[in-house]
Structure 1
Amino acid sequence: MSLLSRLFGSGSGSEKGSAPQHEPVTYEGFTIHPEPIKEGGTYRVAARIEKEVEGEMRSHQLIRADMVSDPDQAATESTRKAQRLIDERGDKLFDRPR
């Protein structure tokens, strides 16, 4: 399965290359869904960040170059990176490029 198909949700979670599911975390009014991406024997740090803004559910996909060998550690690191991004950008995280 290609990286792009994993990023855009092609296929089911039980396919080769998927990481274990982790519980969402609420932080500063945002919901963080840790979604590390399995690549070989490691996991890429990744998370989906969601928040309802003006009555509309907004979502941002965070994908980092960081690789971790343990899926639970990857989920923890994904959450930590998402929290840092929320602290830095807040609701501007959902601004659309012009």
Structure 2
Amino acid sequence: MLGKMFKSLFGSSGDGNKGASKATTVDYDGYLIVAQPQLSNGQWQVSGRIEKQVGETTKVHTFIRADTLPDEEAAANEMIRKAKLMIDQVGDSIFD
């Protein structure tokens, strides 16, 4: 319990990404959605990236939303929901 508290106060790992969470990935319609909520002022900010392999190139769209949620898992789920909506609405033009 104390370890979890210290992680939330001082970052989730010792890799230099203070306040970043472990990535949650979802395959969706040929895209890879990577949810990476960021700890910001005690809340989890909705952020992550959408990737798509095109030939030998990996296209990446990174975004950080203003939305914050008190729970890391909820922020990851919200990022995945928003990413799916974005893919459905604009498709590959997300990478332009």
TM-score (norm. length: structure 1): 0.77
Q: Which runs of 5+ in 1 are unaligned?
A: 1-10
Identity %: 38
Aligned residues: 82
More helix by share: 2
1:21 corresponds to which residue? Answer: 22
Deviation of 1:38 after TM superposition, in Å, equals 0.7
Runs (4 or more) in structure 1 with deviation over 4 Å come to none
DSSP-derived class of the 2:58 partner: strand
Distance 2:22 2:79 in 1: 13
Q: Deviations over 1:42-77 (max 9, x none)?
A: 011111100012431000002111110100000000
Match of 1:61 in 2: 62
State the alpha-carbon separation in 2 of the partners of residues 38 and 69 from structure 1.
Answer: 9
Tell me the distance in 2 between the aligned counterparts of 1:54 and 1:91.
Answer: 14
TM-score, structure 2 normalization: 0.78
Which residue number corresponds to residue 12 of structure 1? Answer: 16
- Uncovered stretches (5+) of structure 2, i.e. residues with no partner: 1-14
